[in-house]
Structure 1
């Protein structure tokens, strides 16, 4: 039978002993999709799937998914389209962890001609041959033959954030990076550093007033045992000390705690005692935008307010080098403006054209640049086609370079709060990566920020230097 077609079996065609089965490997996407459809968005349903420290998951949560798979088997294969599900009695014997395959088999055991009902024995077996579900399902079999095109499951989607999980997974294979954390004196920043430590990404050095660190830890139930602590009187001293730890070779990355970004960056850019290189220090968000087909770097959204052409060159090169660390062999860079045409009255358009020519002349390397591009034709191939823009970048960029900080900040927050995106914040161009997290960031974003810094620091060690630009 054509696999693109669903064809049912009417009551008279079904014989006692007829069977059908389906095999599926439970994924995080399955759990999220089922939670969205069922409306069960409880921590039991979702957090167990997201948090590797917990067990294989709640039996009741995954039992509902197994029951849904059984209903799909009855409705798609035996009897197939037109089936009315009239009841089921199932027993769930064990949880089904994410990543494990299950095979569900149904066997016709009884028929009632008067009601057109068919009873099926149901059984679910995991990859180890263990029975995790048994029971009986009852349906009213269709009376009319139906043949229909199989619905495209790919058209059913939810917003997920598995790209960040891939980054974190890469870091779990590496040696934890020593990170000096500046003044983590609130629950958000201290919790983020300790979570990254539990995940095996970093080994933090917590720099701040010890009394405040212990008070926050006690209030939140955080365990500081085995964590290196450095006592300093206030946030200014913490900013100075974390930079000093890098200069002394005791830390390979920095992380912002509960002090203001300007306070930390003032020590980083200090010409005598800071961490400057020949590159301008810039910022990038590595964004997981669920409605976009791959990770997206947005730069600069936090450091350079109104960058000139030379600064934009470094913004581009820093982001390109980051792209290489993340595994993008030749990043596609879209220089974003309000329009895609060059207009001498709009400096961002002439800067974009200059940046592209710099790439042609080898002043920017390792990527394909195009611009100016408006956001619509940068992101959408269809918009570029309609506007007759022939570009390798349009519709498929890895990096969006914005004209100024305001535009970048607005764009990143629009992605976050209107498209349910997560953004991992990182400062580039210093001697080491600097992790910037916000109190408004969720756990995924904070962990991903640490993962990006971990990958950068590990790449620097492999290359025998600090980071690109050092």
Structure 2
């Protein structure tokens, strides 16, 4: 609750200040609000033209706007009206800078006018800006609760952008792409090839693949293409290339998931390992501090407890490959208490205890948790849940395929999340996306496969620095 100070309550020498950290989201919101889209002030841009992403600097008027937060919220507070403002800008502000914004009353004039000195510094005292403000102070007490102010969603996919950038630093992954014979699947393969993420072998009906290439306006000169009309036979050939050592990953094109996985999971000649295969969705949800991993939403329809052990371990491994240290894993159910009438709550409790005993490794596992208290701190506090995971879950293990599939699609279409998909537990990573997914989703899936392959090979992630706090 903000309470103001009226003209009569203000004295010369009164002071107020706030502390503010400059973030990339601040720059994007200000660009939209002001209409100033100078690339110098925008993240993820190459404004120098040297082919590298340049570090943005904050617009000077964004810094100036912080002064109004002190005036409008604290001194004088609600009801204040700006009259004049001067600024001298001494230094530029970068993302991550911590600013101290202060005002000091220097005089009181007739008609309710208050004069103030304005100062903006970094925490170390370095001057960023100073100036003089004059405001009309309120004449009556006003209390205002700003908690109902609508939230602003900044639709950015910073996590995938950075995962892709990190993956580009690694050696490209030889990849068999099965039936890339529609524009979306072929475009994703071409994008990943151009970014240096994969070295593709296209397997499928050559006439349809060429037609798709013509539709998106790309040339397949230089691409290795194995002409196999039947999609099942193309999938079998892709698996055979793994055994021959010619590829280290598979990528699903425009064919049914079952047609590809049938050959992956075959007992003879497939790509089975001792662990049950499962699928992970890695979601880049705007506003979340880390990617969100969801499993299993594509392969195991109604997993039993033993299968859930492998699903959980596979999901933890995927999170580790992304650079999440000791990922926080929420085992989801409809409730956050153990209820014998709800089997998923029993499984969740057992999985949590198994993790405590080292039967599941690499993450902090807790359950059962309902969706709200798994991801929202306030919801967890309201229900009295004390847990390292509750409110902070980065990995969500769902009770069954239906719930996982609905959760992933709700995040995609309601929160504007981007999704990458990967099958884990086979001898090589399998990029598994929906046939309707666009090229961007397939590009992100390639980055995920490359990062996972690196983690498997080296025992350490290549992407530790991609997670933002």
| Normalised TM-score (structure 1) | 0.70
Query: Helix, strand or coil for the counterpart of 1:286?
Result: strand
The reply on whether 1:445 has 2:428 as its aligned counterpart is no
CA contact (8 A) 1:75 1:82 kept: no
The reply on whether 1:370 has 2:348 as its aligned counterpart is no
Q: Partner residue of 1:319?
A: 315
CA contact (8 A) 2:82 2:136 kept: no
Distance 1:427 1:249 in 2: 19
Query: Helix, strand or coil for the counterpart of 2:237?
Result: helix
Among 353, 357, 382, which residue is 1:357 paired with?
A: 353
Distance 1:52 1:224 in 2: 29
CA contact (8 A) 1:369 1:393 kept: yes
Superposition deviation, residue 210 in structure 1 = 1.6
Q: Which runs of 5+ in 1 are unaligned?
A: 1-23, 86-97, 100-140, 465-470
Superposition deviation, residue 30 in structure 1 = 6.3
Q: Moved runs in structure 1, 4+ residues, more than 4 A? A: 27-32, 38-41, 48-57, 65-77, 81-85, 141-146
Query: Helix, strand or coil for the counterpart of 1:395?
Result: coil
Matches within 5 A, 1:68-79: none
**Structure 1 pair 231–31 and aligned structure 2 pair: CA distance change class (3 A):** farther
Segment drifting more, 218-227 vs 250-259 = 218-227
Matches within 5 A, 1:246-395: 246-395=242-391
Superposition deviation, residue 211 in structure 1 = 1.8
**Structure 1 pair 176–31 and aligned structure 2 pair: CA distance change class (3 A):** farther
Distance 1:270 1:193 in 2: 26
The reply on whether 1:208 has 2:204 as its aligned counterpart is yes
Query: Helix, strand or coil for the counterpart of 2:423?
Result: strand
Superposition deviation, residue 293 in structure 1 = 2.5
Q: Partner residue of 1:415?
A: 411
Distance 2:337 2:68 in 1: 54
Q: Partner residue of 2:178?
A: 182
Distance 1:335 1:206 in 2: 38
Superposition deviation, residue 354 in structure 1 = 1.2
Q: Partner residue of 2:10?
A: none
Q: Partner residue of 1:220?
A: 216
Superposition deviation, residue 39 in structure 1 = 8.2
Superposition deviation, residue 219 in structure 1 = 2.2
Superposition deviation, residue 200 in structure 1 = 1.4
CA contact (8 A) 2:255 2:435 kept: no
Segment drifting more, 383-392 vs 250-259 = 383-392
The reply on whether 1:193 has 2:183 as its aligned counterpart is no
**Structure 1 pair 186–30 and aligned structure 2 pair: CA distance change class (3 A):** farther
CA contact (8 A) 2:177 2:250 kept: yes
Q: Partner residue of 1:429?
A: 425
Q: Partner residue of 1:7?
A: none
CA RMSD of aligned residues (A): 3.9
Superposition deviation, residue 363 in structure 1 = 1.6
Superposition deviation, residue 352 in structure 1 = 0.9
Q: Partner residue of 2:395?
A: 399
Distance 1:56 1:30 in 2: 25
Query: Helix, strand or coil for the counterpart of 1:371?
Result: strand
CA contact (8 A) 2:178 2:252 kept: yes
Query: Helix, strand or coil for the counterpart of 1:181?
Result: strand
Superposition deviation, residue 49 in structure 1 = 7.9
Superposition deviation, residue 440 in structure 1 = 3.7
Distance 1:199 1:249 in 2: 23
Q: Which runs of 5+ in 2 are unaligned?
A: 1-20, 71-79, 85-93, 96-132, 139-145, 461-469
| Normalised TM-score (structure 2) | 0.70
Q: Partner residue of 1:3?
A: none
Partner deviation per Cα, 1:176-213 (whole Å, 9 max, x = no partner): 11111001000000000110111111111111122221
Superposition deviation, residue 458 in structure 1 = 2.0
Distance 1:252 1:275 in 2: 11
Superposition deviation, residue 360 in structure 1 = 2.4
Q: Report how many aligned residue pairs link the two structures.
A: 377
**Structure 1 pair 53–76 and aligned structure 2 pair: CA distance change class (3 A):** closer
